Amino acid sequence: MTDLLTPPTGPHLPDERKRLLKAHLLTTIETPARQPRRRRALVLAGGLLAAFTVVLMNVLWPQAAAPPYVKISNGDHDAAVTFLGMAAVAADAAPAAVGGQGKYLYVRSRESHLSVDGDDDVTLVGPRDREIWIPLFVGGHGVLRDGATPKDLGAFRAIDINPGLPDDPDAMLRKVYADARKTGNQVDAEAFTLIGDYLSENETVLQPTVVAALYQAAARIPGVELLADAEDGAGRHGVAVARSDGGIRHEWIFDAVSREYLGARSYLVEDGAWGRAGLLLSSSAVLAKTVVDTPGKTP
């Protein structure tokens, strides 16, 4: 991967310092204001572990499996606004998923993230593929394959299938910021995170007009920037809409021509107690997304 660098190394931290850093980070993990859905816990589990373990990466990462580092580049705000406008037009023109009784949304993705095992062993989890079948009808059972054995996710409610987001950009922006204010976090950063959650939770059935409204709302968040080159979790290159907060940059990666959402990644942009600038915390890629008529069936 051309934008990954050789990681630096660092000295060991005392055990008490590690404990204090971990305790501090656990108290500052951001929690979205909207009601979490069943699959959200599954999707975000890796992200929470990544946040938890980055405290220890400097001292405990085994050299034989060193974490990837991202080459940090500068972005452009005006370019991000323009690109998101074009992405909104492309999204609005996309066909809607046709659901109904007996139909399932199938999504296959590839994910990697930093993880910790117990108190000491920090590892890079993945890349690994993840498949999920989401019923497009109330009462249907979702199925997750994140390993060898499929898991029954239970019966889905209407809100599990469709979050009911507005398709008007102004209404979308008001909703996102209202939810962001409830968290107590910095509102612009949280608004970007909330929109990114909706985009990355590919099991959510979002109508094309809703996706377009998400992009238009994101264009109005201060601090968004466009990066000319970014790599998703499958090694595909595209452009990234990004925002940095608290020393971490979060990217949404798009195909530069079709403006289709490809995946996401996050990494440190500042040196600190958590690690060195450029440390990749997580990456993902959407590999397939279509409607099927049987849970467990692949295209």
Q: Which residue has the higher pLDDT, 256 or 16?
A: 256
Query: What does each C-alpha distance from 260 to 57, 69, 185 come to in angstroms?
Result: 33, 25, 29
Is residue 299 pLDDT above 60, yes or no?
yes
- Which residue did the predictor score with more confidence, 230 or 34? 230
If one counts every other C-beta atom within 10 angstroms of the C-beta of residue 26, the result is 12
DSSP labels, the chain: -TTEEPPP--PPPPHHHHHHHHHHHHTT----SSPPPHHHHHHHHHHHHHHHHGGGHHHH--GGGPPPEEPP---BHHHHHHHHHHHHHHHHTSPPP---TT-EEEEEEEEEEEEEETTTEEEEEEEEEEEEEEESSTTPEEEEESSSS-EEEEEPPHHHH-----SSHHHHHHHHHHHHHHHTS-HHHHHHHHHHHHHH-TTS---HHHHHHHHHHHTTSTT-EEEEEEE-TTS-EEEEEEEEETTEEEEEEE-TTT--EEEEEEEE-S-BTTB-TTBEEEEEEEEEEEEESSTT---
Q: Do the Cβ atoms of 145 and 109 come closer than 8 Å?
A: no
Q: What is the mean pLDDT of the chain?
A: 78
pLDDT of residue 261: 94
The pLDDT-based confidence of 116 (bands split at 50, 70, 90) is: low
Tell me, what's the pLDDT at 207?
86
Closest alpha carbon to 189 in 165, 228, 223? 223
Task: Answer yes or no: is pLDDT of 54 > 90.
Answer: no
Query: What's the pLDDT band for 237 if we cut at 50, 70, 90?
Result: very high
In this prediction, residue 274 has a pLDDT band, given cuts at 50, 70 and 90, of low
Average pLDDT over residues 74-93: 97
| pLDDT grade for 51, boundaries at 50, 70 and 90 | very low
Residue 65 has a pLDDT of: 52
Task: Over range 267-293, report the average pLDDT.
Answer: 88
In the chain, the percentage of residues whose pLDDT exceeds 70 is 73
For residue 56, which phi and psi values (nearest 5 degrees)? -100, -5
Pairing status of strand 4-5 against strand 69-70: antiparallel
At 259, list the tokens: 């403006």
- What is the tens place of the pLDDT at every residue in 125-182? 778 899 999 999 999 999 999 877 899 999 999 888 888 899 999 999 999 999 999 9
Asked whether the beta carbons of 253 and 239 are under 8 A apart, the reply is yes
99 versus 270: the higher-pLDDT residue is: 270
Q: What is the pLDDT of residue 6?
A: 34
Residue 256 · residue 230 · CB < 8 Å: no
Q: Has residue 107 got a pLDDT over 50?
A: yes
Of 223 and 59, the structure prediction assigns the larger pLDDT to 223
pLDDT at 184 over 50: yes
Confidence of residue 36 (pLDDT cuts 50, 70, 90): very low
